Chain A
C-alpha cells in the first residue's frame, strides 16, 4: 500500500489492468507503441513520453500505432466504441484536437441524444494538457473549458497518481465518451497508489486541504500551486479549503457550495485562458446559488488572455503562481467584511 508510483505509471497501470480485465479495451494513437513497421525495436517508444511503454509486449495488436491522422483515428476510436469496443485513443497533445474536433463534439458527444438514447459510445480520449514544458503555443494549452462546454462529453483532469488510476479506470468502464486530460507537468509526481484495480466516481470533487477562511476551487497542476499557497497562508494564520474538482463534467457543485458556505470566500484557480473557463463557470454558479454565503468578492486566478508563450521567462509569468493565488486569497479577506 505504501507503494508510491508516478502519474505516468498510474496511467500505464490503469490501462494495463483494464486491458487485462476486458478484451474490448484497445488503445490507439500516434507512437503509443512506437516503431511499428520500422526495422528497429518493437515497442520503441511507448508514447512520446513513454506512458504506454511495455503494454505492447503484453497485449500486442490491441495497441495500435496510427498514421498522423487525428481525424481518422479519433473517429475510428469513436466508431469502434459505437460498435462494442472500449477504445482508449491518445491524442498526444490536446492542442491537436483542432484537427479532429468534429469527431469529438459533433459525433461522439451527440450520438446518444440524436439517436434517442439508443447509442453507447464508451470511448476515452487521453491527451496531455497544460503549460510548463517550454512547448509554446500549440503544445501547452489547457483546453478543458472547450470540452466541458459540450453536452454529451465528460471531462476529467486528475492531480494525483491515486486519482489518475482510479479515474482512468472509471473512465474506461464509463459508457459515455470521456476526455481524460493528463497534465504533462505532473507526470513525474509520486503518490501512494494501491496495486489492485479501483475506481473513483466521476461525480465527486476531492477536498485536498481543509480550512475555514477561504475556499480555493481548482484542478490539475493548479491544485499543487494552491497547496503551496495554502502552506504560505497558514503561516499567516489563514486556513484555506482546497477543492480539487478532478472531474469538470460532471461537476460536483455540491462540494464547492458546501465549502463556500463554510468559508464565505471563494478563489477560483484555473490554468485555462480567462474567458469562459472553469473559474468563470464556478464563480457564476456560486454567485447564483450561494450569494448570501459570500463575505467578499469572488477572486479568479488565471493566465492572461494570451497564447502560451515559449520563452521560459514569459511562460513562468504566464502560469498562475502560488504567490498570485495567495494574494487572491488575502484580497478576499482584506477586501471583505472579515
Chain B
C-alpha cells in the first residue's frame, strides 16, 4: 500500500505558508510524475504543485482560498487498491512536520552559507545529498538576480543531485563588489568559488547572464564542467533588451520597477508586491546601481551582448541543454536556434507560455529537463 501525501511546498527560505488557488486535476484522475496538480500562491509568487510520484488523486483536503503552513497536507494520492478507510486513517494520523528553518530565530540565516573569495563575501545555499556519488549542480543566476531565482528548482533538482546556488558578486546578499565585468572574470570567479567549496567538477545551470558565464567556464576550464544547462541564456546572439537593462538599473520605486520586472514573465500577474519589494531592498543598497551600471557596460556595451561564448563550444565536448521561454522579452527565444548542434547530447527546449524567467513560470518542465540532463 503506497499513499503519497500532497503537501504545501516550501519555495524559498522565507516561505511560511501558502494559499491554495485552485485544483488542476479531479479526484480519480491518474497523474504522472511532474504533472501540475494544483496552483498555490505565496506573498511572493504563484506556481504549480507537481506530483511527486505517479498515482491517482484520491482526496482533496485543501479548498481554494485556504491558507496552509509549509508541509501541511493538501491532498492524497494512492493506488486503487487503497481503501477510503485507509486514506482516512492516513489523513487522521498526518502530522505537519515543523519547518526546520522555523525552528529557531536565525535558522534561515544558517540555511545560507558564506564563503569569502578575493575579499568578496559570497552567499550560497546547498540542497540535497551527495547520494551515489552524483556530481553537484551549480546554479548561476542572471543580471540583477540572486539565488532565489531558483526558488522552484533547487529542491526539485536537489532530490536527485546535490545542489549549490550562489549570489554572484554585487548581487543578492554577496558583497557589493564586482569581480570584474567580463565573462572571463566572472567564470574565473566561479572556478574559485568551486575551489573554495572543494568541488572539482559540477553540472552548471545558468540563467541569462549566468548562462554566458557558465559557457565561458566550459570553454576556459572544460575539465570542471560535467554538463551545461543554459536557460534563457546570454552568450548566443547579440540581441538583448537594452530598455529592460537600463530600466532595471534605474528603477528605485515600485511604480518604476513593476513594468520593468513584468517584462521578465509571460504572465505579468506573477509579479507580486513582495517580489518588487524584495528587489527594491536589494536595488536601494548603496553601490548596487553603480555596480550594475558598470557590469552592464562591460557585458552589454551599447545595449548589445558583447561576448558570445556559446557558439564556440566544441563539437562533442560537454553535454548541452538549452531551455527558453517562448515569450522571452529579454533575450529572444530565437537565440535557442544558435546553440551549436554538434555539441554532445545537444538538446533544445522552447517552452510556450513562459518568458525570461522560464525556470519559475514552467518550473515543473524545467526541473524535469534539468534532472534528465544532469542525471
Contact = CB atoms under 8 A, between A and B. Distances in A.
Given A1-B109, A2-B108, A196-B176, A203 B253 contact: yes
Contacts of A196: 176, 285-287
Contacts of B281: 162, 194, 198
B273 A210 contact: yes
B284 A200 contact: yes
Given A201-B253, A207-B273, 5 more contacts: A2-B108, A162-B281, A198-B286, A207-B254, A254-B255
Contacts of A1: 109, 173
Contacts of B109: 1-2
Nearest to A205: B254
The interface size bin for chain A is 10 to 19
B282 to A, nearest CB: 9
Contacts of B97: none
Contacts of A210: 273
Nearest to B14: A2
- Top 6 nearest A-B pairs (CB, nearest first) are A197-B286, A198-B284, A198-B285, A2-B109, A204-B253, A196-B285
Nearest to B272: A210
A71 interface: no
A166 B255 contact: no
Q: Which range contains the number of B residues in contact with the other chain?
A: 10 to 19
A204 B255 contact: yes
Contacts of A207: 254, 273
Contacts, number: 33
A200 B284 CA distance: 7
B36 to A, nearest CB: 25
B254 A204 contact: yes
A204 B109 CA distance: 29
Nearest to A4: B105
A332 B254 CA distance: 28
Contacts of A107: none
B252 A201 contact: yes
B254 A197 contact: no
A254 B108 CA distance: 35
Nearest to B288: A198
A262 to B, nearest CB: 12
B284 A166 contact: yes
A199 B106 CA distance: 25
A1 B284 CA distance: 14
B106 A2 contact: yes
A269 to B, nearest CB: 20
A198 B285 CA distance: 4
Contacts of A254: 255
Nearest to A2: B109
Contact of B285 (A2, A162, A194, A255): A194
A199 B289 CA distance: 12
B18 to A, nearest CB: 15
